[in-house]
Structures are given as structure tokens and as C-alpha cells.
Amino acid sequence: MPKTRGLQRAQLLQTQQPGSGRKAAPDSLDRSQADGLAVLMDAYLVRLAVKHQSPRTIETRRRALVAFVKWCQERELMNPRQITRPILESYQRHLWHHRTKAEKPLAVGTQIGRLAAVRGLFKWLCREAWLDADPAAHLEMPKEEHRLPADTLSESEVAAILAVPNIADPLGIRDRTMLELLYSTGIRRAELVRVQLRDLHRERRTLHVEGKGDKERIVPVGERALQWIERYLAEVRPLLHIHADEQALFLTGYGRAFSANSLGNLIKANIKKAHPGRAGNCHLLRHACATHMLEHGADVRIIQQLLGHSKLETTQVYTEVSIKLLQDVHARTHPSSQAATTAATEAHDDLADG
């Protein structure tokens, strides 16, 4: 079985020396001009490091800017003074038309992230007097999407997903624990893979989360999820702990933290096994967490704090799928619903009397 092999692989690696790690691939950019886009991009990234931006944020910006500079150099646009607002709008159209290897368009959030990195670069170039005017200052960003599944998971459907991992297998205990924590806290997959041992406060039943934009928050952990975490820490993590420097809460069979993609694929496989034919990923559990709390009476502002949304409007989209709560309130308060209930009661009484 794959999971057994994964555990055996971890046990084998525990007897071996850790690898030196992978080196970053070269970006193939032309850095022949001292004041060219590529060289100034490097200086900007160094500045972000000096400002104590997180390595994750810097790497995200680097990838976005490398893609932009490469696009410019393919068009012989080597110097930032050559870049105008129409050129940036052309790059924006390029992002909109771009298709991945799977022939899918870039997500709107991805397009926004890439353009935000470009705006950050040109803002810095103006501040450092490399440019007199910022061509990206008035660039209109795409409208961010707030899409939810048409059919959010019910509580029984979530229960079916939680029951998928084989808890007779140590890695099944790990997988069940991750599912429980995702549903209990509503955290994102990228947030879960960054959780360290020190982030869990068992006595206070809370989790320290590093969210989008390096924003931090504290979220409560439900009692059931906490019990699974305790079991995982006692029975499973020691079997996976290969590298002394690895402090991630959840470990793969290689003894390292999950990547966002590997975690997403694992969760997706569990969802598919519980509900064949249904597409879904970690966000389904995040949606379910928010929707079920709303249906049980939680205030939308509490949900906003739990999910780490900076704007209430982002959280309010969850109320659109919380139809059960809306139906209950409608049945209790709308005159037509009350009249129908009264008529049904009277008809029942007449039948009983007859």
C-alpha cells in the first residue's frame, strides 16, 4: 500500500544523512545592463529582504517579476525607462490570454498577484529616482473573484470525508488529523503547511497562523481536532521525524513539511474517495467551516476574524451559500410562511377531529 511504503521510506531516511537541498534554477535573464530591468529587479528584491519581508513573500515576488522581465526582454524592452502604461496594459492582456500547461487560464488572483509585484517594483524605482514618473501608478487591476462552490458540503458530507483515512495506518492518523484541523479552523492549505510545532498552544487550544501578506492571527482549535493532534504527535510524528531541523507540525514520508500542492492533492484524493465524481480541494473544508458556523448562529464578523479576511465583504460571500439559515429565518418570520404553517396546522386538526 502507498501509505505503508511512505512510512517505510521515512524509517529508511532516518538512518541517512539529510540532503543538501535543491538549488534554485537560473532565470536566464539578461543582466548585461547595469541599469536594466533585471539588475534593478535584483536590487528591489534585496531591498525587500532588508525590510524583513518573509522569504516566502520575496520568492513570490521574484517569480512574478522574473516572468514580467522575461516578457519585456523578449520584446527588447531592457530598461525601465522604456516601460509605459500602454506596455503594462499589454502585459496585463498577456496574463489574461495566457494558458497553463493544462490549457486553463490564470486565476484572477494569480493575475492580480503578478501585477501587484510589477506595481511594487515601479513604485520603488520612482522612490529611488530611477524613474521620474510611475507608469504603473494608474494601472487598473482585475476585479477579484469571490467564488464559492454552488453546493457547499453538508455536515454529513464532511463527516464522510473525515472518515476516509485508514486510522489503522500511522499515515492515516496524520491525514485524519490534517482534515480535522482544516475543518475545525478554516485555515487555508498554504497556512496549514506553514504551521510549526511552536504554533500550537495545546493548553489554550489555539493555533498561531501566518496568513496572506504575512498577516498573523490566532484561531481556536476544536476539542475533537485537538484530540487527533495529540494522537498524531504521540504516535505518528516521531516515526516521520528524520531531520533534526524540521519543525513543521505535519510531515511527509520524506520527513519534510508538505508543499501546498502535495497537501492539496492529498486532500483532493480524500474528498474524491468520499464523494466520487465531485471536484473539490482544501477550500471545500474552509467553506464548510464558515458556512456551518453561520448556520449555527455565528456572527459574520467572528467568521471574518477566523478566516483572516481583511474586508468584511470577502466574508459576507459565505452568507450567499448559507441557505439553510436563511430558510429557517424565512419560515419563522415571513407572513406567507407563517400563514401556510397555520393553514397546515388547522387542516391537520380538522382531520384529527373527523
- Quick check: helix, strand or coil at residue 149? coil
Domain that holds residue 35: 31-144
Q: Measuring CA to CA, which residue among 243, 263, 138, 255 is closest to residue 193?
A: 263
Number of domains in the chain: 2
Q: Are residues 139 and 159 both part of a single domain?
A: no
Q: Are residues 178 and 105 both part of a single domain?
A: no
| Cα-Cα-Cα-Cα dihedral sign, residues 10, 12, 16, 19 | negative
Q: Are residues 88 and 115 both part of a single domain?
A: yes
User: What is the DSSP annotation of 276-292?
Assistant: TT----HHHHHHHHHHH
Q: CB of 40 within 8 A of CB of 130?
A: yes
Q: Are residues 234 and 98 both part of a single domain?
A: no
Task: Give pLDDT tens digits along the chain (354 positions).
Answer: 444 556 666 665 555 544 434 344 478 999 999 999 999 999 999 999 999 888 888 999 999 999 999 999 999 999 999 999 999 999 999 999 999 888 899 989 899 999 999 999 999 999 999 999 999 999 999 887 666 555 688 999 999 999 999 999 999 999 999 999 999 999 999 999 999 999 999 999 999 998 877 788 999 999 999 999 999 999 999 999 999 999 999 999 999 999 999 999 999 999 999 999 887 788 899 989 988 988 888 888 888 888 888 777 777 766 665 556 566 666 777 787 655 555 555 555 555 555
Report, in angstroms and rounded to the nearest whole number, the Rg of the chain calculated over CA atoms.
25
For residue 152 the three cell numbers come to 457547499
> Apex CA 319: angle with CA 315 and CA 323, to 5°?
160
Residues involved in catalysis: 188, 212, 283, 286, 309, 318
Q: Are residues 139 and 163 both part of a single domain?
A: no
Q: Are residues 197 and 320 both part of a single domain?
A: yes
Q: Measuring CA to CA, which residue among 185, 198, 282, 204 is closest to residue 248?
A: 198
Q: Is residue 342 part of a domain?
A: no
CATH number at residue 59: 1.10.150.130
Distance CA 43, CA 51 (A): 12
For residue 205 the three cell numbers come to 487550544
CATH number at residue 290: 1.10.443.10
pTM of the model: 0.68
Q: Are residues 186 and 296 both part of a single domain?
A: yes
- Quick check: helix, strand or coil at residue 174? helix
8-state DSSP, 153:
P
